Chain A
Amino acid sequence: MTSGARAVGGRLLTPTFKVMLVLWAAATAVGVVRFTQGLGAVTAMNDGYPWGLWIAFDVVVGTGLASGGYAIALLVFVLNRGRYHPLVRPAILTSALGYSVAGIAVMFDVGRYWALWKVPLMPWRWNTSSILLEVALCIMAYLAVLLVELSPALLERWARGRHLRREAFAARWLPRLSRALPFVIALGLVLPTMHQSSLGSLLVVAGTKVHPLWHTGALPLLFLLTAFGMGYAVLYFETIFSSAAFGRPLETRLLGSLGVFIAGVILAFVAVRFAGLMGAGRLGLTVTSGTLSFFFWAETLLLLSAAGLFLQQWVHASPVTQLQAALLALAGGALYRIDAFLVAFQPGHGWRYFPSLGEILITLGFIATETMLYIVAVRRFPILAGVSVAAAERLPAGVQEGAAS
């Protein structure tokens, strides 16, 4: 009943951690103003741009970046690629953190946060036409699933501890969890499939506002594909980051063989998008839309160059190009989602939006909180696997600098 994962250990209060604490404190101060003075006091959102940075980045991009757990579960448990198993637990941890942050960001963003309990608990009020309702319920349920998927990490720590009652509890529940796992994992795949695609469907109703380069009936499929692309890319980033930050062995060859999956997902995204534009006779808009044409091509080129580098991993795996590929794919996916929700969202003449300092500080505070929780979790709980490849490779010096935590 061991998973091969071990706590990294080590000191918590590193300089990086202290910077994160400062960001957290600044965000908390802004948060106090938001909850006492209203959203207008700290945000630049307005009646034309009712959704700003918190929804577009913290929720829509954030849960995309948190799709690592979704992507790896499909690969390991359904497609049965057992050799990727060491990537599962850290991916599920970052997913749980990302989704938690998205949930908290929603608490900050909605005006009447104290009424949010009514969404899951008043089913007789549910408007089944509301795509946002489906997204909200799915995200809540998925967060619960992620915590169940993560619970063996806590229980294993208890099982090895000296606390007798905790040890007994762990001994009783670990096998039960193990038996229920196929159903938990399946739920952990269906729920993100539903809400990641529905994040795109959210914008279908705003047909007069979302620019035609982004507005298409294929929005749900495009958002699902970006969830996969970003999810796999995040696995790369995470693995290389924890190698640099915690002196972990690199998984270069393991990741290299994964490259072809990601390249395929990204190319499928680009193909669906261009096919949709062609079908609607909108290809011309890709060059005649001014700034928006620029953003369209920025997304496309980021994703295509990422796909190229991922394909290269198949032939010649190297940690440096892996990191580059992951960052390009994450940037491309994130830019697509931000563009769809903010840049290509045009409510009419006279409306403008650019996130305020307060909004940016709160978002940075969320990222800092997430990072701190990740560091605490991997240092204290069995998340990261032991050496999984015969020869533990080390990062080249250039990559290791700057990521040391």
Chain B
Amino acid sequence: MPTVSRRTVLGTLGGAAALAAAPAPASARAPKPPHGDDLGLLFDSTRCVGCRGCVARCREANALPEDVKLVDGAPYDAPLDLNDRTLTIIKRTGDGPGDAYVKAQCMHCADPACVSVCMLGALHKGERGVVAYDVDRCVGCRYCQVACPFNVPRFQWSSATPRIVKCELCRHRWREGKGAACAEACPRDAVVFGTRAELRAEAHRRLDAEPGRYRGGVYGEREGGGTGVLVLSALPFTALGLPALGPEPVPALGETIQHGIYQGFVAPVALFGALAWVTWRNRRASGGGEEEP
């Protein structure tokens, strides 16, 4: 039986291993920093009294059906969490006196995981930094839901023609000169709509004016590469249900590994060439014909 030289074998195996484990150059990925004129929200949980006016106004502005639940036999629009018809929600962190209300909605990351993983760009960075959804490019794979560290994108589980549902910062209202409906509804300036530069200035103004009121700075200035929604809190941010993210964008590690392996598609093509050559040579050496699968 004809044999391949040890070097060929090791070379081929080495190529395969390198393809899977190539160390990625640190510079493989261009940073996508937030811009000062990106639009976003500031949520100040110390000012929120849990009136849920923002939840109701959001539903109205986005023409979403109510999430009706029976409480002691009486119907209420009472969503318990973000869901297929609820783009923002107010939840209480606990029931003690020191606890707080927290608002959840899409954080509009500067460098979002959902956008990084979306196959056809259904979720994409739209104008002014908004994370926008285009249903025509969505196949309903739900990788965005797997990837989002904030569990924001929601899926229409009870529809035969489902789509992803998430806050798009009321981008359909911008042309009318209106901002996010939730901020418009807030009676206590706990939710503020504006550009990132304005919101950061406002957040720091509040921090400087009453340093004892807050703790932990401004969530979203650096977390996960920066988020369009900034949060102020008297409690640790993790108590509000916000994930403890480093300054690295969430998709950075995965993209760096993947782009490191597939840079310029050199490794797969080289592996293909090497394998085709070895197979061809082996077959010729063993007399061809009888080796087809």
Contacts and interface: CB of A to CB of B under 8 A. Distances in A.
Contacts of B156: 38, 111
Given A80-B4, A178-B289, A206 B147 contact: yes
B275 interface: yes
B209 to A, nearest CB: 33
Given A190-B268, A205-B254, A45 B149 contact: no
Contacts of A82: 1, 286, 291
A181 B291 contact: yes
B118 A79 contact: no
A396 interface: no
Given A119-B119, A119-B120, 8 more contacts: A3-B293, A77-B291, A78-B275, A78-B282, A178-B288, A181-B291, A186-B272, A218-B21
Given A77-B283, A193-B16, A149 B268 contact: no
Interface string A112-147: 110110110010011101111110100000000000
B32 to A, nearest CB: 11
B239 to A, nearest CB: 12
B155 A47 contact: yes
Interface in A176-219: 177-178, 181-183, 185-187, 189-190, 193-194, 197-198, 201-209, 217-218
Nearest to B259: A129
B119 A130 contact: yes
A375 interface: no
Interchain residue pairs A-B with the least CB separation, the first 6 = A111-B140, A40-B157, A186-B276, A50-B142, A204-B254, A186-B275
A77 B51 CA distance: 69
A221 B192 CA distance: 46
Interface stretch (B36-44, B159-167, B197-205): B159-167
Interface string A99-120: 0000000000111110110110
A110 to B, nearest CB: 5
A58 to B, nearest CB: 14
A39 B162 contact: yes
B275 A51 contact: no
A339 to B, nearest CB: 15
B19 A132 contact: no
A88 interface: yes
Given A38-B158, A47-B83, A182 B283 contact: yes
Interface of A: 1-4, 35-41, 43, 45-48, 50-51, 73, 77-80, 82-83, 85, 88-89, 92, 109-113, 115-116, 118-119, 122, 125-127, 129-134, 136, 149-150, 152, 174, 177-178, 181-183, 185-187, 189-190, 193-194, 197-198, 201-209, 217-218, 220-221, 224, 347-348
A129 B117 contact: yes
B140 A113 contact: yes
Q: Is the interface of A mostly helix, strand, loop or mixed?
A: helix
Interface string B127-149: 00000000011111111011101
A126 B161 CA distance: 23
Contacts of B273: 186
A197 B17 CA distance: 10
B111 to A, nearest CB: 11
B245 interface: yes
A374 to B, nearest CB: 16
B137 A118 contact: yes
B64 interface: no
Contacts of B159: 38, 111
25 contacts: A37-B158, A38-B158, A39-B162, A41-B158, A46-B157, A73-B293, A77-B279, A77-B291, A111-B155, A113-B139, A127-B120, A132-B117, A134-B258, A152-B292, A181-B293, A182-B279, A182-B283, A185-B276, A186-B273, A186-B276, A194-B268, A205-B251, A217-B257, A220-B21, A220-B261
Given A110-B139, A111-B140, A181-B291, A206 B272 contact: no
B12 interface: yes
Given A133-B119, A194-B19, A217-B253, A182 B276 contact: yes
Given A111-B156, A185-B279, A194-B268, A79 B9 contact: yes
A3 B290 contact: yes
Contact of B120 (A80, A89, A122, A183): A122
B207 interface: no
A119 B137 CA distance: 9
Nearest to B251: A205
A198 B258 contact: yes
Nearest to A136: B119
Contacts of B184: none
B257 A220 contact: yes
A178 to B, nearest CB: 5
Given A51-B142, A78-B279, A82-B286, A207 B253 contact: yes
Contacts of A112: 138-140, 161-163
Contact of A149 (B82, B137, B293): B293
B283 A202 contact: no
Residue among A190, A205, A206 with the most chain B CB within 10 A? A205
A387 to B, nearest CB: 16
A90 to B, nearest CB: 10
A115 B275 contact: no
Contacts of A221: 17, 20-21
B275 A80 contact: no
Contacts of A131: 117, 254, 258
Contacts of B262: 134
A39 B159 CA distance: 7
A90 B70 CA distance: 58
B275 A190 contact: yes
B191 interface: no
Nearest to A218: B21
Contacts of B119: 119, 126-127, 130, 132-133, 136
Nearest to B140: A111
B21 A182 contact: no
Given A50-B155, A89-B293, A112-B140, A80 B3 contact: yes
